[in-house]
Structure 1
Amino acid sequence: MYPRFSETFVLHEMLAREADGEQLEVFSLRLPVDGHFHAELSRLRAPVTYLPVGRSAGEVWEAVRGALADGLMGPHHPGVQALLGEEAGVATQALALAREVRRRGITSLHAHFASVSTSVARLASLLTGVPFTFTAHAKDIFHEEVADDDLARKLADAAAVVTISDHNHHHLRDRFPEAATRLHRVHNGIDLESFGYSDPAGRPAGVVAVGRLVEKKGFDTLLDAVALLRAEGVQAPLTLVGAGPLAPALAEQRQRLGLVGVQLLGPMPQHEVRRLVAGAAVFAAPCRVGSDGNRDGLPTVLLEAMALGTPCVATPVTGIPEAVQDEVTGLLVEPDDAVALAAALRRLLEQPLLRRSLAVRARQRVEEGFDVRRQAAEVARLTVPAPVGGAR
């Protein structure tokens, strides 16, 4: 889905690649339904095409007839067998994408997430001969519904595979050793010019957390931790930004714990989130592995908080320790441990010099390892098979 409110890393990667002179086009499998959009969208020059969603056999065969009429494939084309093994919607969109690839002279395909988007890109690649690559994130490789045989096919057929953390890279390499030579770790990056550093030492006490209200974010543990702090007489104002299926449960938990001052603000545009995070004394990211295996790869908003000078308390889940190094660039506690989380929050709320020392090193870590310009250039190097020179 493009644009999607919670996936700013995709937009920032494309903006950085356009700034380097690449000519991009965006193909979206779904119409946007978020209802909230970031101002940075207006900076992207790439045209956006929404591929038709075909659900019935009739729509699939209509797409096949169009592909045959365009000379895209014959009845014995190797891509036909692959099409027959896919759902109707995937097959229809892959055929539509393949036709546009031929018409527009597109020379490489890159998909974000190793799920349906990569399924469509892979089929379009088989039909056209144009190489495809993809970026694997988290849910698309860790969720219990991920099928090993499907992921193995995608890894085998891709020209290169990017994943966003060393944790992911090791996981995929160990699980699919035959794909090891095509796997590359490239961290997500952020636009550092948009996230200016400020000293957190003098900020008023306050905790902010940002993310979808889903199990893997661990926000229920955060509410428990704030309640523990209140019981100890520590004022810890909490602002939680985000929307999701757990919103009613978190609101009920807030009421049950008597956390009157805790704000559940819902989704907000990026400039407002940036303002809130930049004014907080602490950023909390109490991530966990969900009961279905779902987990964060390395939350972009965590990197943004580090860039802004807001000291972070997080958990050592997946790629997070690659950015938040305990007692160096932030504090780490175990998932689902409200007592430890409360203690870490209290340290940062009560020790302004600790906030400053962690924040300075966190900003340095982000500058060294998570600059979107360098990250996007590395992704481009891996995913564009020929010199850019105006190719798409």
Structure 2
Amino acid sequence: MSPNRKIAVILKGYPRLSETFIAQELLGLERAGHELVLVALRRPTDGKRHPVHDEIRADVHYLPEYLHEEPWRVLRAALRLMPKAGFWRALGPFLADLTRDPSRNRVRRFGQALVLVAEWPGAATWLHAHFIHTPASVTGYASIIAGVPWTCSAHAKDIWTSSNWELSGKLDRARWTVTCTRSGFEHLQSLTPEKSRVHLSYHGLDLDRFPVFGGDHSRRDGSDPADPVRIVSVGRAVAKKGYDILLKALSLLPADLNWRFDHIGAGELAGDLNKLATQLGLAERVRWKGALDQTDVLQHYRDSDIFALACRVAANGDRDGLPNVLVEASSQRLPCVSTSVSGVPELLTDYQNGLLVPPEDPRALALALERLVRDPDLRRRLGDTAERRVRAEFDHHSSVSQLIELFQNEWSKAS
């Protein structure tokens, strides 16, 4: 890599327990010799960190999360940049965006871009945004002000909750954009004439952190009250994860089945879900574990019998891409049941390496869960097939290599 190529990676927040796929990508880029500086729009809110976060060497720089909290920092940035031509070049696109989206959020992104360029951490010569919504807005404005090119990684919520006009503009201004599911890839390609600048790149998994499970999952079949089947799910307690649907499905399981459900993760709906579990008569069978680090999550995959995730399209259009937790669970031969939403069918094929049911259908989900609870042989077959596919097709080294090639192609053109 050319020694003067330093990438500033713009992130919504860092570090975040729910974004291990970003952290492992950052570490992969560093290990390949790329020098990074991380710029986050908000400070961490999680109480824990994954081990991968401690291995990333890049400095972390935080922009003002809200402009009114650091007004003098924003004002200094504006006064420093107003004499420069880049400021006035960026003002036109910003005002055009503000006309279509007259919101405080839009003003905030321009102010954050001013601070980013004025302080310019790490003397970076390239900008890369993770998420095509707010981080890409900041990155796009900063790119114009500084005269530095930018690229983007788009994921799920950021695609499906953004207006098409805004996505089109960003796709046209970025040198290239990668996204992690075929559904997202096809949608983004439909919004730009420069289709060759949109690339499909599955996140994959750092299989060194999820090594082959040498043990065996249990032969529990739900018949023993003293040894219930263990069902686990990992995910934020937010609408798109469908945990209300999953709880309703669990309440529909036959009374003769003995099971226990563990939920790992935090989120805005945690209290509501706890109340729902109580209303459904499930409180004694459900355990809310909260946010756990990757080591503890791995142990839960190995100790459990079934992984369940009831993905859905939320009312605001938000949805998962391909949830990394399904890939993680599959890597440990843990059979998964999920829904045919977004990128999930790109990993799971019904009755081949998992079970798929329609979204928003507690009864169908309950039938699939019952089938897995009663049939340990089916669980073993699905889990074995799932692991083979993940280890053959979802190694994160391939996605990191694809990113490196994209960066190097751009830099070769400029040299």
TM-score (norm 1): 0.91
CA distance in 1, matches of 2:217, 2:275: 33
Partner of 2:156: 138
Match of 2:208 among 179, 193, 199: 193
Q: What secondary structure does 1:187 align onto?
A: coil
Instruction: Give structure 2 stretches of 5+ with no counterpart.
Output: 1-12, 99-105, 221-228
Q: What secondary structure does 1:286 align onto?
A: coil
Q: What secondary structure does 1:283 align onto?
A: strand
Structure 1 residue 54: Cα displacement:
5.9
Contact 1:216 1:294 in 2 (8 A): yes
Amino acid at match of 1:182: R
Match of 1:157 among 160, 163, 173: 173
CA distance in 2, matches of 1:266, 1:249: 14
Can you list the C-alpha shifts for 1:276-304, whole angstroms capped at 9, x where unaligned? 11211110011111111111111111110
Q: Does 1:17 align with 2:51?
A: no
Match of 1:127 among 145, 152, 169: 145
Can you list the C-alpha shifts for 1:35-67, whole angstroms capped at 9, x where unaligned? 222222110011111123462587655312222
CA distance in 1, matches of 2:245, 2:291: 20
Contact 1:226 1:236 in 2 (8 A): no
Contact 2:237 2:243 in 1 (8 A): yes
CA distance in 1, matches of 2:343, 2:325: 13
TM-score (norm 2): 0.86
CA distance in 2, matches of 1:125, 1:245: 34
CA distance in 1, matches of 2:310, 2:24: 25
Structure 1 residue 179: Cα displacement:
3.7
Structure 1 residue 83: Cα displacement:
4.3
Amino acid at match of 2:89: P
- Give structure 1 regions of 4+ aligned residues with deviation exceeding 4 angstroms: 56-61, 83-86
Structure 1 residue 320: Cα displacement:
0.5
Partner of 1:208: 232
Flag the 1:177–1:67 CA change in 2: closer, same or farther, 3 A. closer
CA distance in 1, matches of 2:389, 2:40: 33
Partner of 1:62: 76
Flag the 1:51–1:200 CA change in 2: closer, same or farther, 3 A. same
RMSD, aligned CA: 2.3
Give the structure, 1 or 2, with the largest relative contact order (CA under 8 Å, sep 6 or more): 1
Q: What secondary structure does 1:324 align onto?
A: coil
Instruction: Give structure 1 stretches of 5+ with no counterpart.
Output: none
Partner of 2:336: 312
Structure 1 residue 133: Cα displacement:
0.9
Flag the 1:353–1:119 CA change in 2: closer, same or farther, 3 A. same
Contact 2:217 2:303 in 1 (8 A): no
Match of 1:180 among 192, 195, 198: 195
Partner of 1:167: 183
1:188-337 alignment runs, 5 A limit: 188-198=203-213, 200-202=216-218, 204=220, 205-231=229-255, 233-259=256-282, 260-337=284-361
Match of 1:95 among 76, 96, 114: 114
Match of 1:6 among 18, 21, 24: 18
Q: What secondary structure does 1:91 align onto?
A: helix
Structure 1 residue 142: Cα displacement:
1.0
Contact 1:53 1:92 in 2 (8 A): no
Contact 2:38 2:60 in 1 (8 A): yes
Can you list the C-alpha shifts for 1:132-186, whole angstroms capped at 9, x where unaligned? 111111111112xx22222221111000011111111112223x14242211010
Q: What secondary structure does 1:264 align onto?
A: strand
Structure 1 residue 196: Cα displacement:
2.1
Contact 1:206 1:282 in 2 (8 A): yes
Q: What secondary structure does 1:159 align onto?
A: coil
Q: What secondary structure does 2:263 align onto?
A: strand
Quote the sequence identity (%). Answer: 38
CA distance in 2, matches of 1:188, 1:100: 31
